[in-house]
Amino acid sequence: MVTKRIYLSSPTIHGEEEKYVKEAFDTNWVAPLGPNVDNFEKEAAKYVGVKYATALSAGTAALHLAIKLAGVKQGDIVFCSDLTFSATVNPVSYEKGVQVFIDSERETWNMDPRCLEKAFEKYPNVKAVIAVNLYGTPAKLDEIRAICDKYKVVLIEDAAESFGATYKGRQTGTFGQYNAISFHGDKLYTRYYWAKSA
Ligand SMILES: Cc1ncc(COP(=O)(O)O)c(C=O)c1O
């Protein structure tokens, strides 16, 4: 019988984090945003090498915003990775779009560029593509981006799990027109940080 509950990602706040949490309370910048969030956005953008980053409540919210910015409306087709966490594809439903799942390839377990190309031949009206980097492993992002550019379709990169991972020397979270990173406590980066500071 299991008696001890094991939490997936219970927070631990100490050292540097504790200092910044206290500072946020001391300076009354708990809400709405404030200097900590401003710096967080700047540092995240600088780290991956993009011009701008916007902090939202979660990676799911970032993907939802990307879907809205891509103009996905009721009935629009969005090509999605077929092996992923549900948050990659849920925002398509929030806007009443239609997911068409693209098969994965062996090497990365992510979206197969050959299947993506075939799907574009089959479906002429596609609004966006959402490609995930599952378990921190980048998809074949240059090939995927080239296909999206060829068909003039927006690429959304779901880099929720791959912050810090590079593809051909370039940080993930930079290949799409819109890119989402997650700092949920169960992500590789956040866990690593906790483990390091514990
Ligand atoms: C692949 C993938 N996409 C999106 C998300 C959503 O991120 P969040 O939990 O920050 O909403 C997650 C993680 O939860 C994820 O693993």
pLDDT reported for residue 194: 54
Model pTM?
A: 0.92
pLDDT reported for residue 10: 78
Residues 116 and 154: their CA atoms lie apart, in Å, by 13
pLDDT reported for residue 187: 84
pLDDT reported for residue 192: 61
Task: Note whether 176 and 128 are within 8 A (CB).
Answer: no
Q: What is the distance in A from the centroid of ligand 1 to the CA of 79?
A: 18
Query: Ligand 1 pocket, 159 CB below 6 A?
Result: no
pLDDT tens per residue across span 42-66: 999 999 999 999 999 999 999 999 9
Q: What is the distance in A from the centroid of ligand 1 to the CA of 6?
A: 20
Nearest to 17 by CA among 183, 166, 134: 183
> How many residues belong to the chain?
198
Peptide bond into 35 cis (omega under 30): no
Nearest to 76 by CA among 54, 55, 42, 100: 100
Give the β-pairing of 126-132 and 77-81: parallel
Q: What is the distance in A from the centroid of ligand 1 to the CA of 185?
A: 10
In ligand 1, the atom with minimum distance to the C-alpha of 161 is 16
* Residue minimizing CA distance to atom 13 of ligand 1: 160
Test site for ligand 1: of 56, 184, 186, most ligand atoms within 8 A of the Cβ: 184
Test site for ligand 1: of 54, 85, 111, 163, most ligand atoms within 8 A of the Cβ: 85
pLDDT reported for residue 9: 78
Structural domains of the chain, with CATH: 14-55 (no CATH), 59-197 (3.40.640.10)
Q: pLDDT under 70 in the chain at which residues?
A: 191-198
Question: Which residues are paired to 167 by β-bridges?
Answer: 170
Q: What is the distance in A from the centroid of ligand 1 to the CA of 85?
A: 7
Test site for ligand 1: of 182, 183, 186, 187, most ligand atoms within 8 A of the Cβ: 182
Query: Ligand 1 pocket, 81 CB below 6 A?
Result: no
SS (H, E, C) the chain: CCCCCCCCCCCCCCHHHHHHHHHHHHCCCCCCCCHHHHHHHHHHHHHHCCCCCCCCCCHHHHHHHHHHHCCCCCCCEEEEECCCCHHHCHHHHHCCCEEEEECECCCCCCECHHHHHHHHHHCCCEEEEEEECHHHCCCCHHHHHHHHHHCCCEEEEECCCCCCCEECCEECCCCCCEEECCCCCCCHHHHHHHHHHC
Sign of CA dihedral 144, 148, 153, 154: positive
